[in-house]
Amino acid sequence: MIKNNTIIDTNFNFPGQKSLYKGKVREVYNINNEQLVMVATDRLSAFDVVMPKGIPYKGQILNQIATKMMKATEDLVPNWLIATPDPNVAVGHLCTPFKVEMVIRGYLSGHAAREYKAGKRLLCGVTMPEGMRENDKFPTPIITPATKADMGDHDEDISREDILKKGIVSEADYIVLEDYTRKLFQRGSEIAASRGLILVDTKYEFGKTKDGNIVLIDEIHTPDSSRYFYADGYQKRQDTGETQKQLSKEFVRQWLIANDFQGLEGQTVPEMSDDYIQTVSERYIELYENITGEAFVKADLTDIQHRIHVNVENYLQS
């Protein structure tokens, strides 16, 4: 299904296909219980709700940033990626995903800032210092995990203690997840700094391969999974109480909030005009170019479904 030159839904039938899983943004095809073909659609999710219209080039942008960042971190943490046969597609090893997202925060922003403003000083069992202002840097980055929600459900904060107590992840595995999360965040922060950016917070997802190895899966350091600030002027803006200039999909969340939508019961998703969708697409391209330091090359949108189908089949048959 294509609207406005976007891909918002797929229903391929690839050789050796065993199953299809549809997440909020990605659709994952199991090939022979060995490989996963992950298609990044142009769906836009905010407040755990998928918006009715797709954003041109968004899937390509997310897929290509994630691919570049996996290659830039594979010396630190093993990942699931094997190939990228199409701008919107990543192929990787079949893994059993852990049912938690490893969220790490270097700064008091977004969800953490909203909780802090509400008077909470404990987030996922981690104490946040008194006297912080929104967007201040934490003394040390904090890990605030979330349980992974199915499509349409909300991810929920959870503490390390509860993850272990409920047996969601074994202690031995969780120690590895924490170690990998801190290493990835450190490398991501260094990459961001080299581009004049600050990696504010992000989330990582991990899975276990058939031979028991823990690997990074899904996306990494994309504008959907991460928040970035421009480093230039950050401190001045903090000192004067100005809003930080940021690179993330937070601008979409703020637009939705301004239009009385936060994913709460009884609220209706506001209508996104074609002009607004065009501006969101342009912001995503700006994000890509800032995060990667490279010019974005637009893929052919004439028939995205056909393009993906041909590219993936050719890859699988080779």
Same domain? For 274 and 165 the reply is no
CATH assignment of the domain containing 285: 3.30.200.20
Which of 7-16, 149-158, 200-209, 300-309 bottoms out in mean pLDDT, i.e. has the lowest? 149-158
71-126 pLDDT, tens digit per residue, is 999 999 999 999 999 999 999 999 999 999 999 999 999 899 999 999 999 999 99
CA gap 255, 128 in Å, rounded: 28
162-201 pLDDT, tens digit per residue, is 999 999 999 999 999 999 999 999 999 999 999 999 999 9
- pLDDT, position 263: 86
Same domain? For 60 and 110 the reply is no
In angstroms, the Cα distances linking 269 to 101, 245, 280 are: 26, 25, 16
- Could you give the angle at the alpha carbon of 55 between the alpha carbons of 3 and 231, nearest 5°? 175
Q: Is residue 17 part of a domain?
A: yes
Q: Is residue 313 part of a domain?
A: yes
Work out the average pLDDT over 3-24: 89
Strand partners, 91: 37, 83
- pLDDT, position 193: 97
- pLDDT, position 150: 60
Question: Quick one: 125 exposed, middle or buried, by C-beta within 10 A (0-12, 13-18, 19+)?
Answer: middle
* pTM score over 0.85: yes
| Domain end residue (candidates: 218, 247, 276) | 247
Q: Is residue 258 part of a domain?
A: no
Same domain? For 231 and 153 the reply is yes
32-47 pLDDT, tens digit per residue, is 999 999 999 999 988 8
Q: Please give the residue range of the domain that contains residue 18.
A: 2-95+268-317
Is the pLDDT at 3 greater than 80, yes or no? no
Same domain? For 31 and 110 the reply is no
Quote the number of domains for the chain.
Answer: 2
Q: Which tokens in the block code for residue 3?
A: 């609207």
Q: What proportion of the chain, given as a percentage, has pLDDT over 90?
A: 80
Same domain? For 83 and 192 the reply is no
Q: Is residue 34 part of a domain?
A: yes
Q: Is residue 260 part of a domain?
A: no
Output phi, psi for 92, to 5 deg.
Answer: -145, 180
Is the pLDDT at 149 greater than 80, yes or no? no
| Domain end residue (candidates: 197, 217, 247) | 247
**Mean pLDDT taken over the chain:** 93
- pLDDT, position 7: 93
Same domain? For 131 and 169 the reply is yes
Q: Is residue 307 part of a domain?
A: yes
254-267 pLDDT, tens digit per residue, is 889 999 998 888 89
The answer to whether 201 and 110 are in contact (CB under 8 A) is: yes
290-304 pLDDT, tens digit per residue, is 999 999 999 999 899
- pLDDT, position 4: 52
Q: Is residue 263 part of a domain?
A: no
Q: Of 204, 163, 164, 208, give the one whose Cα is nearest residue 185.
A: 204
CATH assignment of the domain containing 104: 3.30.470.20
- pLDDT, position 1: 41
Q: Which tokens in the block code for residue 34?
A: 């060995």
- pLDDT, position 155: 76
Same domain? For 147 and 234 the reply is yes
| Domain end residue (candidates: 215, 247, 279) | 247
Q: Is residue 255 part of a domain?
A: no
User: Could you count the other beta carbons within 10 Å of the beta carbon of residue 185?
Assistant: 22
Helix, strand or coil, per DSSP, at residue 196: coil
Same domain? For 8 and 49 the reply is yes
Same domain? For 305 and 239 the reply is no
